[in-house]
Amino acid sequence: MNQLLEISFSSLASSIHSWLSSAIANATILNVVEMAIAGVCLLVFLVPLCFVLGYMERKVAAFMQLRLGPNRVGPKGTLQIVADTVKLIFKEGLTPNASDKFLFNLAPIIVVVVSMLVMAPIAFAKNFQLWDLNIGVLYVTSISSIAVIGILMAGWSSYNKYSLLGAMRSGAQIVSYELSVGLSIISIVIMTGSLKISDIVMSQADGWWIFKGHLPIFISFVIFVIASTAEINRAPFDLSEAEQELTGGFHTEYSGMKFAMFLLAEYINLFVVSAMAATLFLGGWMPFHIGHWEAFNHIMDFIPSSLWFLGKTFAIIFIIMQFRWTFPRLRVDQLLNLEWKYLLPISMVNIILVTIMAIMGWYL
Amino acid sequence: MDLFEAIFWFLTAMAIGSALGVILSRNPINSVLFLIATFFAISGHYILMNAQFLAIVNIIVYAGAIMVLFLFVIMLMNLNADVEPQKSRLVQFAGIISGGILFLLILAALRDMKAAGVIEKTATDIGLMKNLGKTLFQNYVFPFEISSVLFLSAMIGAMVIGKKETLVIDKN
C-alpha cells in the first residue's frame, strides 16, 4: 500500500530516465530520445486538453446563457468537439491566389509552436517539469510575446484588408498589455527573489501569495488575469477577430486545418495563462494549508499535486471563460485607455507597495 | 560530434544564412522575418554559453518589441518588392566599392586568426541573472544609471514630439 501511494509523476520520470540510461549507452542519443519522449508526452497531453477546453467553452457559454449547449453527439454532447475536428480535417485548406504563400502557410505553425514552447517551464506536479531554467518566468513572457509575429504574418500574408486590420489591432493590443502582465509578474518575483518556477512554487509552501501577500498581491493577481485575457485575444478583448466589423480578423482567409491550428493555439494559450496565474499566485501544485491545523493539512497533502495544479488552472480557465459571456467587447480606444490610463499606472504604484512590503517583511 | 557541437553548428549556419537572407531578399517583410530568425539563432548561442538572461532579453527586446515595430511600420506603409526604389548605377557602383573595402578590412584583421575548435563554456555562470545583476549594480552602477536616464529622455522626447503634432492639427 505504501509503495502504491508513492507513485508520482516525478518517480515515473526518474525511473524512465534510469531505465533508458541503462539501455542506451551513448549520451547524445539518450538526450535526443528523452527529448522526443517529452515532446510526444506534451502532444498527448495537449490534444485531449484542447478537446476538453473546447467542450468546456461551449458548456460554459450555454450555462451562462441558460441554454443546453451541445447535447446530440455522444453522451451529453461530449463527442461534439471530435465531430468538429473531423469536419475541419476534411475541409479544403484554401490558399488565396494573391497571398504570400510561404508566409501564409508558415503563420499558423509559428503560432502553435510558440504556444507549445511556453509549456516547457510549467510545473505540472511536484518535481515534474520539462525544463526548470533559472529565468523561468522571464522565458514565459518573452516567448509568448513572439506569438504576435505569427499573427502579424498571418494578417499581412493573407492580402486582405480585414486580415491586416485585425493583425494590426492584435499587435497593438498584445504589445501594450504585455507591460501590465510583466509588472504583475515582477511583483511576485520581488516577493520570491527568484525567477525560477520551482523556487516560486516552493516559496508558497507556507501559504499562497494571494493570501500572504495581502492587498497589493491581490491587485496584481486581478491585473494579471485581465491583462493576460487581453494578451491571448479572448473576449471581451477579441478586437482582432471582431466578427461584426472584420469578418474574422487575422484568420479570415484561413480554412480547414490551418484554421484549426489557430484555434488550437488559442486554447493552449488559455491553458498556459491560467497555469501561470495558478503557479504565481495560487501556489502551483502546493496543497491548501491552514496554519498549524495538522489534521486538515494532512488530508490536503493526500490529494496528488498534479490534481491541485490542474484544479487551480481549471478554476482560472472557468473565470476567464465567464468573462467572455459577461462583458461586451471593448472599442479600440477604450481598450488602449484601459491599459495605458488605468492598468499600467495602478500596477506601477502597486510595484512600489510590493517593494516596500518585501523590504519591511510585511508578509505572513 | 556530440550534441553541443551539433547544436552549435546548426545555430551558426542559421545565423549566417538568415543574416544573408536579410540583405538578399527583395521584400522588406521577408527581411524583417529573416532578422528575427537571426536574433533567435544568436539567442541560442547565448544559451549554449549558459547566459540565459542575455538570451531571453535579446528575444524580448529585439525579436519581441523592436521587430514588431518594424513589421508595423512596413505593413502600414505597404512596402513591397514592387515599390522598392531602384538605385542608379553610380550609387550601386559606390556601394560595391565601399562594401569591398570593408570586406578587405575585415579580411586583413582576421588574417592571422587560427581556426579554433568549438569551446564549451557551459561551466561559467557569469551570464546568469544573479551575477549579471550584481556586476551591473556594483561595478558598473554609474554607466548603467546614465544609460537609463538616456532612455528616459528619449522616451520623453518622443512624447513631446508626438504631442506637438496633435496641437498643430487642432489649430487647423
Which CATH number goes with the domain that contains B52? Answer: 1.20.120.1200
The helix or strand, by DSSP H or E, that contains position B171, with its residue range, turns out to be helix B141-171
Q: Say if B138 falls within a structural domain.
A: no
Of A135, A153, A175, the CB nearest to B53: A135
Q: Does residue B96 lie in a domain region?
A: yes
Cα distance between residue A135 and residue B60, in whole Å: 13
In a domain, A136, yes or no: yes
Q: Could you tell me which residues of chain B have a Cβ less than 8 Å from any Cβ in chain A? A: 2-3, 6, 27, 29-30, 33, 36, 52-53, 56-57, 59-60, 63-65, 67-68, 71-72, 75-76, 128-129
Widest Cα–Cα separation across chain A: 68
The rounded Cα A320 to chain-centroid distance in angstroms is 11
**A83 domain residue, yes or no:** no
Q: Which residues of A touch B46 (CB under 8 A)?
A: none
- Measured at the CA of B47, the angle between CA B43 and CA B53, to 5 degrees, comes to 80
pLDDT at residue B120 is higher than 70: no
Could you tell me the CA-to-CA distances from B1 to A20, A90, A130, A220, B117 in Å, in that order?
21, 44, 25, 48, 12
- Is residue B172 in some structural domain? no
pLDDT, average across residues A13-36: 81
Is the confidence at residue A134, as pLDDT, over 90?
A: no
Q: Kindly indicate whether the ipTM for this predicted assembly is greater than 0.90, answering yes or no.
A: no
- What average pLDDT does the segment A39-48 reach? 88
Inter-chain touch B29–A141, beta carbons under 8 Å: no
CB within 8 A of A60, min separation 6: which ones? A318, A321, A322, A325
CA distances from A65 to A240, A324, B16 (A): 24, 11, 55
* Contact state of A134 with B128 under an 8 Å Cβ cutoff: yes
Is position A63 within any domain?
no
Q: Please, what's the b/e burial string for A229-256 (b: 16 or more CB within 10 A of its CB; e: otherwise)? A: bbbbbbbbbbbbbbeeebebbbbbbbee
Look at residue B70 and tell me if it is in a domain: yes
> Which residue among B27, B68, B75 places its CB closest to the CB of A148?
B68
Q: What is the distance between the alpha carbons of residues B172 and B169, in angstroms, rounded to a whole number?
A: 5
Helix (H), strand (E) at residue B60: none
B71–A156 CB contact, under 8 Å: yes
- C-alpha cell belonging to residue A175: 504589445
H-helix or E-strand containing A129? strand A128-129
Q: Is residue B34 part of a domain?
A: yes
Beta bridge partners of A128: A125
**What is the domain count for chain A?**
1
Distant-in-sequence, close-in-space partners of A310: CB < 8 Å, separation ≥ 6: none
Q: Which of A139, A143, A156 sits opposite B29 (nearest CB)?
A: A156
pLDDT digits (tens, 9 = 90+) for A139-164: 888 888 888 888 888 888 888 888 88
Residues of chain A with C-beta less than 8 angstroms from the C-beta of B68: 148-149, 152, 171, 175
**Residue A2 pLDDT level (bands cut at 50, 70, 90):** very low
Residue B43 lies in a domain: yes
Give the nearest partner residue to B75 out of A139, A164, A175, using CB atoms.
A164
Per-residue model confidence as pLDDT tens digits over A270-320: 999 999 999 999 888 888 887 777 888 888 778 888 888 899 999 999 999
- Mean pLDDT computed over every residue of chain A: 84
Is B142 domain-assigned? no
Range of the domain at B96: 3-128
Residue of B nearest to A138 (CA): B56
Count contacts between A and B (CB, < 8 Å): 66
For an interface test with B, the pick among A99, A145, A174 (most B C-beta atoms closer than 10 Å) comes out as A145
Instruction: Using an 8 Å CB-CB cutoff, list chain A residues near B52.
Output: 133-135, 139
CB B71 to CB A143 under 8 A?
A: no
Grid coordinates belonging to A165: 486590420
Number of domains in chain B: 1
Evaluate whether residue A291 is within a structural domain. Answer: yes
Answer whether residue B135 is part of any domain: no
- Cα atoms in the 13 Å half-sphere on the side-chain side of A347: 26
pLDDT given for residue B8 in this prediction:
87
Range of the structural domain that residue A329 is part of: 2-11+91-360
- B68·A32 Cβ contact <8 A: no
